[in-house]
Structures are given as structure tokens and as C-alpha cells.
Amino acid sequence: MAYKIAVIPGDGIGPEVIEAALHVIEPLIDAEFVEGEAGDECAEKHGDPLPEDTLELCHEADAILFGAAGETAADVIVRLRQELDLYANIRPVRGFPGLRELTGEPYVRDDVDFVIVRENTEGLYSGIEGRFRDTAYTLRIITEEGTRRIAEVACDLAEERGSNTVTCVHKANVMRETCGLFREVCKEVVESRGLEFEEYYVDAAAMFMITEPERFDVVVTPNMFGDILSDEAAALVGGLGLAPSGNVGDRHGLFEPVHGSAPDIAGKGIANPFATILSAVMMLEWLGEDEAAEAVREAVGEAIREGVVTPDLGGDKKTMEVAEFVREAALNRVQ
């Protein structure tokens, strides 16, 4: 089956890591890759960080692979999440054998494996904010419908992973109405699915994710909490260079690395491509291309075991050298 994949390289290291990910997956999938413009340079060139033709391309595509956005991130990726109703931001936290030795960091774990399911369209990122005289304000929007559907996604993932527990992270003891509603609806959905409901206040969850990450399997949480916790959790698996994500809804899926545009290293050829390659793995899984997805994930693990990594992980390889290794290792697994 031929897919139409929208590719948005974006800013900074975005084009470099997208090139690397495409180099890996192109021989593994029957697809047409169509590039769209978005981001800071696009805004300077066209006066619009997210042109209508790019938005139309995303609506038409079977999936979207996104690189990184710079200063216009709110106008690009946040808008895409809302326009395409990508209400679930799925951020796996998965270690690879050999990472601790590579990084030399004692807190890096090879055995971590949990996933954060972040509500993606509401909360403090609703975009409803303003100023009145000397006061600025933001409205934190939590709806029953929005919470119910993100809780269902978390339950689906728990069942896929063979887990019987979903952990809700909130701050209902302080934000009694908004987090209170989120907690109530999540509890109702989880228990109606025959799963066990666990809960933590977000500050406690932040501590336990570092000290006892084995407590977690599937975590469901409002928008901003999920954004912060997933970046924190990335430290356990070698940093943001190994943190993929998928933004999914009922019809569309957009896949992107958690990291930003990293302008300080853009153009140097040393950006870690693993987060984008692993985001492409999530895209392959979402499309139902499970064999190709598993081949690439195993190839990333082989690269890490062999020390074929960029400087941020203690290696000396260039971005495309890593991509070439992963490509060949993946191809060997499907032949």
C-alpha cells in the first residue's frame, strides 16, 4: 500500500534529523514523501509560519513527520495539534542496553519502559490568555470530553502493553475544579475498562520518575504536566536526543522528536537523529507497518550497543553516519 507522508523539516536541526530519519525508513515503506514548509524561515520568506498549502497537505496525508520549530513553535506545532485535533501526545520513555556506559551518567537506566499520555489540546496551553492593565492571565481549560478521550487512549495503550494499571498524574488538591474534573473522569474511564486506577500529585510523580521509575507503566496527565514530566523522564534514557513522540487523533497522526530546533548545533552535522528515527518508528506502527517499525527500533539498539552515536551520547559519529548504520542494520533484519 502506498502512503502519502507529509514531511515538515522546520528549523534548526530539523532538516538534518528529518533527512536522517527518511534515509532510514524510505527503503522500508511504500510511500510518497511530500515536503511542506513551516517555521521561522518560512515566516520570514512567506510572512506566515504555517502556510495554508502546508496545512492542506497535512489534512490530506496519511501521516506527518515533523522536525523542529523555533520561535514560531506555538504558531506551527501547537496550531497543527489543534487544527488536526491531535488530542493525544504519546511520549514513550524506553531505555536501551549500553546507554549508561555510553553517557557515563549514573541516573541513565537501560531497563526503563513506560509511556506518558499527555492531553494535547487543552489545559494551560489552550491559548486563551491576555492582559488587563498590570495583570496577565491564562485560562486553564479542562473538559469532560477532552479528558474522557485521552483516558481512553491511555487505557488502550495499557491493554496493548499487557498492563492492568493506568496512573493519573494531577494536582487536584490545589486545582480542585480543573484537576478535580480530570481526576474524576480518568478514574471513571479506567475503572469502567476493568483496569486499576492509580494516582499521584504531579510533584510526587516528578520525584518518583527519577528515583523509582519502575512505579510507572502508562501515565495520563494534563497538557503542561505531560510536557514537563516527559522532558524530565528523557534524562533517564540519555536525554532529549532519544525522546520520540506521536501526536494522534481519530483521523490524523503527526510524529516528531521531543527536542527543539537546537540552533547552537544546527548545520554542524552532529545532531542526534535517534529521537526523530524513533518518532518515525511510532509513525510506522501507527500505519500498521509493524515489521518495519521493529526492524528500525532494533537497529537503533544495535547502533547504541556498538557505540555508533553522536557526541551528545559520548560518540564521534556524524548525524548521517548514524543514519547509515541504522538503515543498513534495519535492512538486514527485513531481508
What are the catalytic residues?
125, 171, 203, 227, 231
* Coil, helix or strand at residue 70: coil
The counts of H helices and E strands in the chain are: 12, 12
DSSP for residue 123: B
| Cα distances (Å, whole numbers) of residue 90 to 42, 260, 333 | 27, 17, 26
Distance CA 12, CA 329 (A): 28
125 phi and psi angles, rounded to 5 deg: -95, 20
247 phi and psi angles, rounded to 5 deg: -105, 110
Retrieve residue 127's grid coordinates.
491559548
CB hemisphere CA count around 252 (13 angstroms):
21
* 273 touches 17 (CB < 8 A): yes
Retrieve residue 194's grid coordinates.
476493568
CB atoms within 10 A of CB 104: 9
Q: Is 1 exposed, middle or buried (0-12, 13-18, 19+ CB in 10 A)?
A: exposed
Distance CA 191, CA 94 (A): 26
Distance CA 218, CA 168 (A): 9
Question: Which residue shows C-alpha cell 528523557?
Answer: 234
Distance CA 326, CA 316 (A): 16
* 117 touches 154 (CB < 8 A): yes
